[in-house]
Amino acid sequence: MSNVPTPLAPPTRVLLGPGPSTTDPRVLAALALPTVGHLDPYFLRVMDEVRDMSRVVFGTKNELTFPMSGTGSAGMETCLVNLIERGDRVLVGKNGVFGTRMAEVARRAGAEVTVAEGEWGRALTPQAFRDAAGGAQFKLLCVVHAETSTGARTEIAPLRAVADELGAMLLVDCVTSVGGLPVELDAWGVDAAYSGTQKCLSCPPGLSPVSFSARGQEVLAARKTPVQSWYLDLSLIANYWGSERAYHHTAPINMLYGLHEALRLVLDEGLEARFARHATNARALCTGLEAMGLELVVPADERLAPLTAVRVPDGIDEAAVRANLLAEHDLEIGGGLGPLAGKVWRIGLMGASSKRANVELCLTALSSALAVQGFAPRGDAIAASAAAYA
């Protein structure tokens, strides 16, 4: 047929936005392995190994730990709809887009939501949650560990004590932190958490690892009403990931191959070495950006290593800069969201994208794109980043 499209031939981009990150070639190779059945003994072994490796990157021994079929937002919804019943009181920290989204999902699940407001680009403090609670009790305290919309990191461990004061379980968004920052669910006392594959794990989007503590499982088992989403009902899906192997839905087999390889690569590198790599490259990037005369949004002690938010200089068309980077350098960075739309760029150094060559490419290309609009760098970004590496 003359109207049959030609085969796909996507361009090769350097992905330094807020996600997806560059997929490691070994993960791409794993995705192309032969598909087997979702109950094939070989695939069941793959599932077991994915579950075991997921526990390591989450820093947990939780039995209920496995990837949901869906992106990170599906993981968010999974955690909320399984723990919330209509009328439950939920306290959500909001200092960016994804805290805002957690509050919206909780409302749709029937919760009475109270929001602990924080400044966009700053970490949330334990006192912000105490102040918002006003002495009331809650079923859930929800917080984003690594806020992708701003590049701010909120410390999770101190929030366990706050949750205990409020009689609440602690639910954490780890989408941009797993594989790039230390995540210690057991040590932090987290009851439920979710992540995504397309950030620091450098696997394509499509799966969302989740983990529930024993307490979280008890709350799920004690529900008075069915989970509102059949597809996301963990009491059903756990029977497929557990020893029963009871059919729920056809698993995305090749995506799980990809996640298996992505997790294997994380553990082969070693968590501490991986965290150090992300921190080193982020420090060099930030040093170079500041040498150019650009302002970073988040204070250094609250800043994410995997993602950096940069203020757009006055008089600069930020969308035109991003378009230039894509057209001239095959380089993608992200724009701002919500109240930061048009005001910031978001630069991700996540997973396979976090390397010195990408730091230097980004600094060089950004200097060039800004020069098109008449912006003169204050100093030598490459020299500054080199000094940071040294």
Q: For the segment 334-357, what is each residue's pLDDT rounded down to a tens digit?
A: 999 999 999 999 999 999 999 999
Give yes or no: residues 258 and 296 share one domain. Answer: no
Give yes or no: residues 250 and 236 share one domain. Answer: yes
Give yes or no: residues 81 and 199 share one domain. Answer: yes
Give yes or no: residues 333 and 208 share one domain. Answer: no
The C-alpha atoms of residue 209 and residue 311 are separated, in whole angstroms, by 32
Is 162 within a domain?
Answer: yes
* H-run or E-run covering 153: strand 152-153
Give yes or no: residues 194 and 292 share one domain. Answer: no
Give yes or no: residues 57 and 200 share one domain. Answer: yes
- Taking residues 279-300, what's their average pLDDT? 98
- Under the banding of pLDDT at 50, 70 and 90, the label for residue 14 is very high
Q: In the chain, how many domains are there?
A: 2
Question: pLDDT (tens digit, 9 = 90+) per residue, 107-147?
Answer: 999 999 999 999 999 999 999 999 999 999 999 999 999 99
User: Helix 356-372 and helix 271-292: axis angle, to 10°?
Assistant: 20
Question: What percent of the chain clears pLDDT 90, i.e. is strictly above it?
Answer: 99
**Residue 1 reports pLDDT greater than 70:** no
Is 211 within a domain?
Answer: yes
Q: Which residues pair with 14 in a beta bridge?
A: 331
Q: Take residue 75 and report the two structure tokens written for it.
A: 């993981």
128 close to 116: Cβ distance less than 8 angstroms:
yes
370 close to 345: Cβ distance less than 8 angstroms:
no
Give yes or no: residues 343 and 313 share one domain. Answer: yes
The C-alpha atoms of residue 293 and residue 86 are separated, in whole angstroms, by 51
Considering 267, 297, 317, which residue would you say is the last residue of a domain? 267
- Under the banding of pLDDT at 50, 70 and 90, the label for residue 241 is very high
Q: Which residues pair with 153 in a beta bridge?
A: 146
Q: Which domain holds residue 298?
A: 271-389
* H-run or E-run covering 75: helix 72-83
Establish whether the linkage from the previous residue to 5 is cis, with ω within 30° of 0: no
Give yes or no: residues 258 and 276 share one domain. Answer: no
**Residue 51 reports pLDDT greater than 90:** yes
Strand ranges of the sheet holding 112-117, from the earlier edge strand across to the other edge: 64-69, 207-212, 192-194, 169-173, 140-144, 89-94, 112-117
Is 13 within a domain?
Answer: no
Give yes or no: residues 209 and 168 share one domain. Answer: yes
Question: pLDDT (tens digit, 9 = 90+) per residue, 77-115?
Answer: 999 999 999 999 999 999 999 999 999 999 999 999 999
Task: Report CA torsion sign: 173, 179, 181, 183.
Answer: positive
Average model confidence (pLDDT) across the chain: 97
